[in-house]
């Protein structure tokens, strides 16, 4: 785009320059012819006059651009080496008026030192001096300002050329845009694919090549989506099918006589079940068919905390806040359950509070654990990511709890923020907008 | 009377069928297995069945369709089993007439508790009398949905209750304006067979109060009667 504009601009300047040269050339030729004719005519007239009338007549024959005087001697001293400019003028004169033999004509520009005055002025540079010898040896001195005509450029021509160039520029900008816009949307779509696997197809618009690229891109996207879906379904099916053998194992475990062994088998089964459940939660993602309902979020958080208290965990809830929220209740409950469970798992005890703001609900979950190294604060949300300390067997977990919690809360228009508190311990802040627009889906029985 | 109950287990997984059978026989029940709808119908035609444990995913006719079919002619108690474990499945299962619902994998002890509760409720009814169909119950501005097992406020806000809280609340709702002792409440709640009995009745009641009474405008629901137990104050209407 930039290259194109630069090229067009350069081309425009170049053609303007060529055009200007052409005009100057034409004007120059015309002026040389006039000068030559005039020289010859004045020479003949003055030569035919007596000496006393010569100066007066010569002066009277001056024109707007040419001053003529008669004098017994030449204004120009004869020079050995003529400048290149003079040679060119002399050659032109000789072509036009052969009767002006070289010896009879002396030529010089005013700035070439023939006058004993300051000669570096622009005016002198353009002042051509011509001395023509009459048959009796006296001289006619012409001084011609060479560029007066040529230095009046044609503004209208320049204007129309520039207007045309601007027109071309506008049209090409428009054309370039119409070609590149579909390319740009293709690039945006390609960028989005990593973030959102369900991104819509790229529109097939624009020139043929771009349309072909868009079609190929859409086909590729469909293939990737199918691949992801296949894998997701496989994983979900495996997780799901594991439920039957676990059911059998649970029943079998009941027949184990050794009480201690039975309890360890049952706790292993609990762990397996939790892993399968969180994997299924993760795979289900936002596509859950759960109905959207208005729920008192305060009671959901109370249920979550009470459940953990009943399982022997240290959870303190600043309860009694009631706040209706339009949401998918089971998903939200699971999200808070994951967050508070994490707090008691890694931070020994959890303090949970709910605050109502004008347009959002703020849920804070503080724990007394070691916190999270600042560099890892964002990574803990990655699927299957676990801090080094949590890889031990006793804490267990699949590394999906935070991932599921955040994606659920984000699907509700909110967000989860983690921060290490000054006094130690991690602080999890959940923000949920009260009036979030939730895409409807699933059944509404 | 439990000991003589005849339970039909309908599951296409033969091992699950055998294991449930062995487990329940140890608890004193008579067990017959069926692998699909056809075998189920044959068994029902030839024997008296007191309770059916029905898997949702069956080859041929699904558990849901079988349940619907059974309900046309019979009020035999049904407990649905499913590996799906989605809440919507539970509601659909209860809507087609199942008495209870248990997601796989389940704890055998919980299955036993639910079987007992469902059988006790069924025997409390007069023979031939259909199960109470009133799905919605209102009290003090709240509406209780017995299928969804949830309570909503007048402006439609759902109050989240744990299983144990729901069981205690429904015990109150079914026996309003009567003093109920802790033991009576525990017994009534056990009939619902939720998995959270371990918390004392007092804790459950304080949690229900926190969730339903602190709304501000609503009047107190449950009153403590010193030395006797609790009484549920509001008027209850079934619809």
pLDDT, tens digit, 9 for 90 and up, residues B105-120? 888 988 998 898 888 8
Q: How many CB pairs under 8 A join A and B?
A: 94
Q: B155 to chain A: nearest residue by CA?
A: A294
Give one DSSP letter per residue of A197-257, joined into a string. TTPPPPP--SSHHHHHHHHHHHHHHHHHHHHHHHHHHHHHHHHHHTHHHHHHHHHHHTT--
Asked if A303 and B15 come within 8 Å (Cβ–Cβ), the reply is no
Asked if A445 and B88 come within 8 Å (Cβ–Cβ), the reply is yes
Asked if A306 and B162 come within 8 Å (Cβ–Cβ), the reply is yes
What's the pLDDT at A392? 46
Closest approach of chain A CAs to the CA of B162, in angstroms?
6
Which positions in chain B touch A255 (Cβ < 8 Å)?
22-23
Nearest to B50 by CA among B127, B111, B103, B154: B127
Largest CA distance in chain B: 58
Which band of pLDDT confidence, cut at 50, 70 and 90, is reported for residue B16? very high
CB-based contact, A274 to chain B, within 8 Å: no
Closest approach of chain B CAs to the CA of A244, in angstroms?
7
**Facing residue for B108 by CB, picked from A244, A251, A443:** A251
Question: How much is the pTM?
Answer: 0.63
What's the pLDDT at B10? 94
CB-based contact, A333 to chain B, within 8 Å: yes
CB-based contact, A443 to chain B, within 8 Å: yes
**Distance (Å, whole) CA B182 – CA B93:** 32
Contacts of A400 (CB under 8 A, 6+ apart): A278, A279, A281, A282, A383, A384
HSE of B111 in the Cβ direction (CA atoms, 13 Å)? 27
Average model confidence (pLDDT) across chain B: 84
**Distance (Å, whole) CA B224 – CA B133:** 31
What's the pLDDT at A443? 37
- What residues in chain B have their Cβ under 8 A from chain A's Cβ atoms? 13, 15-16, 19-20, 22-23, 83, 85-88, 91, 104-109, 153, 155-162, 165, 196, 198-199, 207, 210-211, 214-215
CB-based contact, A329 to chain B, within 8 Å: yes
**Distance (Å, whole) CA B229 – CA B201:** 10
The residue count for chain A: 445
Which band of pLDDT confidence, cut at 50, 70 and 90, is reported for residue B150? confident
Asked if A329 and B160 come within 8 Å (Cβ–Cβ), the reply is yes
Q: Count of CB atoms within 10 A of residue B177's CB?
A: 11
Grouping H, G, I as helix, E, B as strand and the rest as coil, residue A279 is helix
Nearest to A365 by CA among A390, A344, A380, A382: A344
Asked if B199 and A244 come within 8 Å (Cβ–Cβ), the reply is no
CB-based contact, A73 to chain B, within 8 Å: no
Mutating which of A246, A296, A337 best tests the B interface, going by the most B Cβ atoms within 10 A?
A: A296
HSE of B18 in the Cβ direction (CA atoms, 13 Å)? 6
pLDDT 10s per residue in chain A (445 long)?
A: 667 777 777 877 888 788 777 776 766 666 777 777 878 888 888 888 888 888 888 888 888 778 888 888 777 777 767 777 777 777 777 777 777 766 678 877 777 655 555 555 666 667 778 888 888 888 888 887 765 444 445 566 777 778 888 888 888 888 888 777 777 877 887 777 655 556 677 777 777 888 888 888 888 888 888 888 888 888 888 887 888 899 999 999 999 999 899 989 988 898 888 888 878 877 776 555 678 889 999 999 999 999 999 888 999 998 667 889 999 888 899 899 999 998 998 888 899 999 988 889 999 999 988 888 888 888 888 887 776 655 444 455 667 888 889 988 988 889 999 999 888 889 999 999 987 556 554 333 3
What is the value of ipTM here, to two decimals? Answer: 0.79
CB-based contact, A328 to chain B, within 8 Å: no
**Distance (Å, whole) CA A198 – CA A213:** 19
Which residues, in sequence order, are bridge partners of residue B152?
B143, B158
Closest approach of chain B CAs to the CA of A249, in angstroms?
9
What's the pLDDT at B17? 93
**Facing residue for B88 by CB, picked from A244, A296, A443:** A443
Cα-to-chain-centroid distance, residue B216: 31
**Distance (Å, whole) CA A382 – CA A275:** 16
What confidence tens digit (pLDDT) does each residue in B45-87 have?
Answer: 998 899 999 998 888 888 889 999 998 888 899 999 887 656 6
What's the pLDDT at B39? 92
């Amino acid at each position: 785009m930039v290259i194109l504009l630069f090229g067009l601009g350069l081309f425009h300047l170049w053609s303007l320059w060529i055009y200007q040269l052409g005009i100057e050339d034409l004007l120059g030729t015309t002026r040389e012819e006039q000068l030559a004719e005039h020289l010859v005519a004045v020479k003949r007239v003055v030569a035919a006059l007596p000496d006393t009338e010569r100066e007066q007549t010569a002066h009277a024959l001056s024109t707007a651009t040419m001053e003529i005087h008669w004098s017994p001697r030449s204004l120009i001293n004869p020079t050995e080496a003529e400048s290149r400019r003079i040679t060119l003028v002399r050659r032109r004169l000789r072509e036009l008026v052969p009767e002006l033999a070289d010896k009879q004509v002396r030529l010089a520009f005013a700035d070439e030192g023939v006058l004993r005055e300051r000669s570096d002025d622009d005016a002198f540079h353009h002042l051509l001096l011509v001395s023509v010898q009459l048959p009796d040896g006296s001289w006619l001195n012409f001084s011609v300002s060479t560029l007066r005509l040529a230095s009046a450029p044609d503004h209208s021509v320049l204007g129309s050329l520039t207007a045309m160039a601007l027109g071309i520029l506008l049209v090409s900008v428009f054309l370039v845009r119409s070609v590149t816009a579909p390319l740009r949307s293709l690039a945006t779509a390609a960028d989005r694919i990593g973030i959102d696997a369900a991104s819509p197809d790229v529109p097939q618009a624009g020139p043929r090549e771009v349309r072909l690229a868009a079609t190929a891109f859409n086909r590729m996207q469909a293939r990737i989506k199918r691949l992801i879906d296949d894998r997701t379904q496989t994983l979900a099916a495996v997780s799901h099918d594991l439920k039957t053998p676990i059911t059998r194992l649970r029943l079998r475990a009941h027949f184990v006589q050794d009480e201690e062994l039975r309890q360890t088998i049952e706790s292993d089964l609990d762990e397996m079940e939790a892993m399968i459940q969180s994997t299924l939660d993760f795979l289900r993602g936002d596509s859950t068919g759960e109905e959207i309902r208005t729920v008192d979020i305060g009671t959901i958080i109370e249920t979550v905390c009470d459940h953990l208290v009943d399982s022997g965990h240290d959870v303190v809830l600043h309860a009694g806040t009631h706040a209706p929220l339009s949401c998918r209740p089971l998903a939200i409950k699971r999200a808070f359950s994951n967050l508070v469970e994490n707090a008691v798992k890694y931070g020994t005890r959890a303090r949970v509070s709910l605050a109502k703001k004008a347009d959002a609900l703020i849920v804070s979950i503080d724990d007394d654990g070691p916190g999270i190294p600042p560099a890892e604060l964002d990574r803990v949300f990655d699927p299957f990511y676990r801090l080094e300390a949590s890889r031990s067997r006793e804490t267990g977990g699949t590394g999906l709890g935070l991932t599921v919690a955040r994606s659920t809360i984000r699907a509700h228009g909110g967000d989860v923020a983690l921060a290490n508190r000054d006094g130690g311990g991690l602080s999890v802040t959940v923000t949920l907008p009260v009036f979030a627009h939730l895409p409807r889906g699933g059944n509404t029985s | 009377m439990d000991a003589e109950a005849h339970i039909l287990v309908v599951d296409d997984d033969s091992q699950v069928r055998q294991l449930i059978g062995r487990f329940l026989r140890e608890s004193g029940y008579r067990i017959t297995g069926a692998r699909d709808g056809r075998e189920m119908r044959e068994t029902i035609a030839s024997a008296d069945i007191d309770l059916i444990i029905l898997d949702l995913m069956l080859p041929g006719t699904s558990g849901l369709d079988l349940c619907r079919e059974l309900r046309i002619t019979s009020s035999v108690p049904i407990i649905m089993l499913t590996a799906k474990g989605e809440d919507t499945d539970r509601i659909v299962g209860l809507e087609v007439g199942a008495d209870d619902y248990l997601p796989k994998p389940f704890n055998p002890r919980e299955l036993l508790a639910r079987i007992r509760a469902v059988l006790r409720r069924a025997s409390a009814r007069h023979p031939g009398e259909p199960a109470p169909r009133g799905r919605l119950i209102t009290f003090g501005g709240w509406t209780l949905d017995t299928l969804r097992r949830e309570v909503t406020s007048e402006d439609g806000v759902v109050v989240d209750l744990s299983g144990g809280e729901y069981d205690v609340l429904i015990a109150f709702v079914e026996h309003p304006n009567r003093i109920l002792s802790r033991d009576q409440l525990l017994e009534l709640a056990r009939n619902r067979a939720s998995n959270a009995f371990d918390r004392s009745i007092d804790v459950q009641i304080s949690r229900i109060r926190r969730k339903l009474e602190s709304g501000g405008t609503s009047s107190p629901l449950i009153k403590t009667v010193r030395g006797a137990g609790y009484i549920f104050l509001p008027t209850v209407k079934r619809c």
